[in-house]
Structure 1
Amino acid sequence: MTDLYSFLEHTSNTSDFKADLSTRGGYITFSNSGRRGGVKYFQIGLDNILQTLKDIYENLSVFQSLTQYEETPWRTNGSSLFKDPVANANSTVQTKPLFSTLSKIIIWANQPEFDEINPDNHIVLTENSLKTTISRLEEVANSFKPQHSTIIKTQNKKHQIIYYGAPGTGKSYTINETTKDESVIRTTFHPDSDYSTFVGAYKPTTIQVTMRDVSGHKIIEGGKEVKEDRIVYEFVNQSFLQAYIQAWKYYAETAVDAEPQKQYLIIEEINRGNCAQIFGDLFQLLDRNSTGFSDYPIYTDNDMRKQLFKAFEGLSISQSENINNLYNGRNVTEQVLKGEILLLPNNLYIWATMNTSDQSLFPVDSAFKRRWEWQYMPIGKGYDDNGNELNWKICIGANEYDWWSFIEKINLQIGSTTNSEDKKLGFFFCKAENNCISAETFVGKVIFYLWNDVFKDYGFDGTIFKDTDGGTLSFDKFYRADRNGKAIVQNNKIDLFLNNLGVKMTNDSENLFLDENGNTENSPTKDFSRYSLNGNGNYSKGGIVYEAIKLYAENNPEITAQKIVDTWLSLSINISNLIETDDMWNKRKEQTKDAKFESKSKVLTLHNGEVIHISNQFNVNRIQDFINCVNAQDWNIRIEKL
């Protein structure tokens, strides 16, 4: 029987989805096909696969009919029935590569019976095939069990993890919460990061020295030595060496039978820097043995050796014998304390974040990838520190939209447009204040991101960026300039965008019904204010709005319905659906379940026979905003409260 390592190596040559068994740990690295723009690699442990096969076996009545690859049923059943979190996450984001990997393993375990099957399209799910696979994979997984060691293991947490996912999925937050009671040193990679800024280098520093005369005697004035600042070059430790030195100092403080304190080195945005350039020879240290120490120490140069020797001077490690035994009796602890070698201890954890939407900055090669555990951060609802669900809203004037509804709707659009998970938005992409994301924040952060980083490269053929005139709702249309040239957010354009997307509203504006005086049945105080138009008439709130727009239409008989609608909406009056063309109104009518929909607006027929619809849903605040906006225009229209 061909071993699993050789079998996967051979089958990957003819498969769109590569799968390789590691030789130094119990996991499989698999990839997508790369047909949608670049091959991406993922890792899953043999224990994770075993649990997944057991889940399929326990739910065989569900899976036995899914022998041909169909994305929807495999994604749906995987997300609901796979207990293992790694397999569960991959079933929703890399469904077919996971399917192909499982099929390859079943074919391997049952060879030569299924040798002619194409694992990319077919999987054999019978009671016997699954029992055989689980039994044989257990044998392979057991071969990777670590040997007994007298070293106290600190493997409750993985030593090197990259948390990856869409922006706003809580990668940094998860790390912060996990390490909040630990010793942490944090750094952020960027395009200019290099070895010296990560490890350490000589830098100019200022020290005070005593001034001396030409004879070498100290200069004394007023009974005190005269000092001067002098620039000298000193070796300065950066984040890696700071964490490394502290981790070994914790070991020096620890008794022979105790576990040392953990030290964390957190790297934010790891893929925004060139990892090969930044890590350099430290790359070799990332291979850890079964106890968490580096497999292969590396020798230091003279400058680093002096620095480490100075940092470790006077220290001794009580667990030296046990540590040295891991390296065949070589006295590595003495070499560490002398600064001769670099060797990662098992209490040093290196955790990082990767924003998948930035993967194009510096691609991470497969050799680097396999030295890390990969933790996918799915897009889901947000929760506060007490585990309560966050009900954030997008607050656009008087209208409030459900933030989670927006996240779901926009991610569907991003996924279908880009065929990728990389550009999607996480729940925490924006920060709310008092559960509210303001119009300014929404446009400046969300719309800007969508326009420039997502849809710009794919065109705007869809309906979500469709303007009322049938053109494109370009980014500049979300702003207008006031008289001082200051950019003012156009609330009506945001409303239009969110309505195009079909985002759920959270306030009562959809079901709220105001009478002609702007009151509801439950209004605590009734308001019966009346208004005049250019000194004439006695109108209610809804009536004065209708009459003002009617007068504007009469004064401009040549203007089309669309032009009138665009003009009035450009005022950004604080109410959605203030004025609509007949097409806009009918489109909303088809989508609404509001029984009072038709009574919430009035029809105005123009000189050319076109029809527009004018809202009559105005309370005290809305009518005042309307009056202020209209009176500020040079339209010879003046509204006053009687």
Structure 2
Amino acid sequence: MNDFNELLGKVASIVKKQCGIDLGQDYDAVMIKPMAATNIIRANKKSKQTHIAITGPSRDMFPYIDISNYSSKDGNNNLKSFYILQVPFHIFKKNIDAISADASFDYNEQGIATVTASVKMSKHGDDRQIELGNPTQSSEGFVLYRTLFEPEDLFVVLKREEKIEYDTFIIRKRESDGLTKEFAMRVGKTINTFVDSTKYKNDEPAFKGGHNIIYYGAPGTGKSYRVSEKIKHDYIADYSSKQGSPDVFRATLHPEYSYSDFVGQLLPKVEQERVTYEFTPGVFTSALKHAISYPMRPTFLILEEMSRANVAAVFGDIFQLLDRDEDGRSEYTINNGLIAQNAILSDADGATDPNSCSVYLPENLFIVGTVNTSDQNVFAMDTAFKRRFTWEYVSPKVDEASFENNPDIEISSDMTVSWYKLYTTLNDFITRDLGLTEDKQIGPYFIKFGHSQMNPEELVKDKLLQYLWEDVDIVARRMNGGARSLFDSKIASFADLYDSFGQKMVFSNKFIEKLKGSASNDSLDESDDADGNE
């Protein structure tokens, strides 16, 4: 398993199950090493090996001084013992408690203890290895940590993104869920020499071209699918909307969705009978932090059902950032200390005042929205907001020859039609004959027949009829005084419609004529009655 996201996800699942810790995505390398008896410190240990040997590509997640620059393979190598670095390892109390280890570490308020382990390169060429955690060169805490392992336990090390810091966990063999020796890195070689900064630079050029776009259309046209396919085809080849991606952040808006949900808020946290407050980032702040942390990769913030929320209130001062230059960076910035502290600034920025830091949308951040045209009257978007997005229409029309979501539907005891014929005729009738606008039409995936155990007729009854009755027919009859209707005049209530569908013909004669292909494209005369008879 050399896919970074897959391996990180597997480790995160095991750690969550073992000790309830959510790892998140803030790592750029993962190493899993089964511990041999020679790696474990015991009072009666016979082996002369005092360190943990790190070989192969795993070496590259640690900083080291390459001894080949200072010593020779066959010469005097006494000086190599002086080329030793120390790196911080973070140990979690919940993990130690979960393995029932009798050990006491100096934990902080978050239940994390920081210890240091020595890192030294030894040997040359293809045989070179890192000697990690020599007892005489590491802190007492790391030495104690090594005594907690049992043979074949997993030594799990996660390198924090863009930092020379490591989170570590002990996973008992019985809890390993099939994991064995593994290593994966997010992007290239992390570091190969000691530096005095917690940050490192990536030589890859920054990704440019971020923009704001909204996909809009009738319900069921496949707007969310269009977004996912666009990301997969143009940006992230292995993207899956089911499995997600660390580069994609998604939220569904609703009438109660607020600025605090979007940006983040201070929430109470109870630990040892003490109440503290800590900032919990919203989807925007999380996406912005990720985009700034990884400028060479496109980052997507997907906002579903945008018209169901008051987007002017949701975006608030972020509205000012939506104007982009030709590279995709915000033309204007804002000062927002909360966002700056949690998305823009890093630990290396020290005492920088967050309120004086400029907040902006970077070139690699895409804001992608979806809007159902039938929902436009829930919360209207003002023109100033709308013009800061590109609007791409998703048509309800599809190619019938390649359309697979197309079962036959028995709409009455003596008439069966394909779903393609039914929905396209409905759309034509809604606009041409009932005089309604396109936002009342339906898309080809308004019902997804292949995703249900119900038969097509049941799905139409339970998913479509109510919409046609309340959102289409009642609205049409109010507009035209009852002169035009989608349904037969004998249908007096929704109960009549629901009970009769599939048994009796519930649609008007005019609609049935159009369904059979014999109806004129001209709309009904105002004198026509509801069931299409003059």
Q: TM-score, normalised by structure 2?
A: 0.50
Specify which structure has the bigger relative contact order, considering alpha-carbon pairs within 8 angstroms and separated by 6 or more residues.
2
Higher helix share: 1
